[in-house]
Amino acid sequence: MEVPPETGVSEPIELNLAKWSDRFIAWLIDFIIVTVAIEIIFYAATFPLWFDSNPTRWFTDGATSVGYITRSLIFLAYWTYFESTSGQSIGKKIVQIKTVGISGEALSILDALIESFGKSFLLPLDVILGWIFTNEKRQRISNRASNSIIIKLKSHTEALKSNNQVHYTKD
pLDDT in tens, 76-94: 999 999 999 999 999 999 9
Residue 7 has pLDDT above 80, yes or no: no
Please state, as a whole number, how many other Cβ atoms lie within 10 Å of the Cβ of residue 141: 19
Longest dimension (CA), the chain: 91
- Domain layout of the chain by residue ranges: 13-45+62-170
| 159 neighbors 5 (Cβ within 8 angstroms) | no
pLDDT in tens, 114-151: 999 999 999 889 989 988 887 788 899 999 999 999 99
Q: In whole numbers, what is the pLDDT of the chain averaged over residues? A: 82
| 155 neighbors 13 (Cβ within 8 angstroms) | no
Which residues 6+ apart lie within 8 Å of 140 measured at CB? 118, 119, 126, 127, 129, 130, 134
Residue 8 has pLDDT above 60, yes or no: no
| 106 neighbors 83 (Cβ within 8 angstroms) | no
For residues 26-35, average pLDDT: 96
* Spatial separation of the C-alpha atoms in residues 17 and 136, rounded to whole Å: 10
